Structure 1
Amino acid sequence: MTASSSGVPEELDRLRGSIDNLDAALINLLAERFKLTRTVGQYKAQHGLPPADPAREARQIDRLRQLSTQAHLDPAIAEKYLTFVVAEVVRHHEAIAEEHRQEQQVTDD
């Protein structure tokens, strides 16, 4: 077993590098997801729709749990992920709706 210059075995260093690459990809995908949900939030605000959609959220949790099972990932991880993301999305949608209300008040005045 050979070690890298940091003293970490090369195999462990290689595996960690792969994990780091996946983490970067996940962050980039999450950023793209939030760009799309911002657009959804703007649409909802413009059309007077509520920031949250509990029925869709429940369907999404079911869908991700099924995908997790197929991918041999603990479905609880997918549910925790989606619960966190949805909470952030709803928070953003509420802020967008408030911004829209304020803009409408300025326009109406």
Structure 2
Amino acid sequence: MTTDDAAGELACYRRTIDNLDASLLYILAERFRCTEQVGHLKAEQSMPASDTERERRQLDRLMSIANEVGLSRHFVGALMTMIVGAVVERHNEIAAGK
């Protein structure tokens, strides 16, 4: 493989990565739009912002998927901790009327 061939192949991989990164952001935005509605419902019904049992079940389910697709359980755990933390923070803000 020549340097030019390698550069072309690298550029192709990078275009794919760029598209996947954009897709991830669109998916996260949709997830947060949905959890925003959950936050409003919880606030209207005086429900707690966090549901630790639901979070545990969801993390267990996602860890199983991580195993199936070959993703690091540590990575998935850290990612979901960050996402759920942001959601719970937003739910608390909604409940406080912010």
Alignment TM-score, normalising by the size of structure 2: 0.92
Same amino acid, percent of matched pairs: 39
Q: Which amino acid aligns with 1:96?
A: I
Secondary structure class of the residue paired with 1:99: coil
Q: Is the 8 A contact 1:61 1:82 kept in 2?
A: yes
Q: What is the distance in 2 between the residues matched to 1:83 and 1:61?
A: 9
Moved over 3 A (4+): none
Give the equivalent residue in structure 2 for 1:95. Answer: 93
Question: Equivalent residue for 1:3?
Answer: 4
Greater RCO structure (CA 8 Å; 6+ sep): 2
- Counterpart among 17, 39, 42 of residue 41 in structure 1: 39
Q: Which residues of structure 2 form unaligned runs of 5+?
A: none
Question: Whole-Å Cα distance in 1 between the matches of residues 78 and 48 of structure 2?
Answer: 23
Q: Which residue of 1 aligns with 2:16?
A: 18
| Contact kept in structure 2, 1:38 and 1:92, CA below 8 Å | yes
Q: Could you tell me which amino acid in structure 2 is paired with residue 3 of structure 1?
A: D
TM-score (norm 1): 0.84
Structure with max Cα Rg:
1
**Deviation of 1:76 (Å):** 1.5
**Structure 1: which amino acid aligns with 2:96?**
E
Q: Number of aligned residue pairs: give it.
A: 97
How many angstroms does 1:2 deviate by? 5.1
